[in-house]
Amino acid sequence: MFFEAFKFVALAGFFSVIAASQSYLGTPSGTKPKLKSYTNNHSYDYSLFNPEDLSALSETSFTTLAHPFFPHYSVRVKKSPFCDETVKSYTGYIDIEARHLFFYFFESRNDPDKDDVIFWTNGGPGCSSSLGLFMELGPCRIINNGTGTKFHPESWNSNANIFFIDQPIGVGFSYAEYGETVSTTEEAAKDIAAFVSIFFEHFTKFKGRPLHMAGESYGGRYIPLFAAEIYDQNARLIEAGIEPINLKSIMIGNGLTDFYTMAASYFDSVCTSVIVPPIFDISTCVRMKQAQPRCLEWLKESCVDKLDSIGCSAAYGFCANEIVLPIYFSGINIYDMSKKCEGKIEETMCYPVTQHVTTYLSLPETQSKLGVDPIRQGNFNSCNNDLNIAFMNSMDEIHPTQHYVAALLERNVNVLVYVGSMDWVCNWMGNEAWTLALEWSGKTAFGRQDLREWSVEGKRAGVTRSARGLTFATIDGAGHMAPYDRPKESLALVNRWLNETDL
Residues identified as active-site:
217, 423, 480
Helix (H) or strand (E) holding 198: helix 185-202
Count of residues for the chain?
Answer: 503
CB 172 within 8 A of CB 380: yes
Nearest-10 crossing angle of helices 219-239, 401-410: 50
CB 421 within 8 A of CB 253: no
| Strand spans (E) along 427-468 | 452-456, 459-467
Q: How far apart are alpha carbons 322 and 175 in whole angstroms?
A: 37
Neighbour-count burial of 241, counting CB atoms closer than 10 A to its CB (0-12 exposed, 13-18 middle, 19+ buried): middle
Q: How far apart are alpha carbons 82 and 369 in whole angstroms?
A: 8
DSSP 3-state of 470? strand
Q: How far apart are alpha carbons 276 and 297 in whole angstroms?
A: 27
Q: Tell me which DSSP letter residue 158 carries.
A: G
Angle at 49 (CA atoms; ends 48, 55), nearest 5 degrees:
135
Q: How far apart are alpha carbons 304 and 122 in whole angstroms?
A: 26
CB 46 within 8 A of CB 34: yes
Helix (H) or strand (E) holding 229: helix 219-239
Among residues 371, 355, 383, 364, the alpha carbon closest in space to that of 144 is found at: 355
Helix locations, 28-145, DSSP H: 130-131
Q: Tell me which DSSP letter residue 135 carries.
A: I
DSSP 3-state of 66? strand
Q: How far apart are alpha carbons 55 and 205 in whole angstroms?
A: 12
Among residues 257, 266, 259, the alpha carbon closest in space to that of 299 is found at: 259
Among residues 313, 274, 275, 316, the alpha carbon closest in space to that of 294 is found at: 316
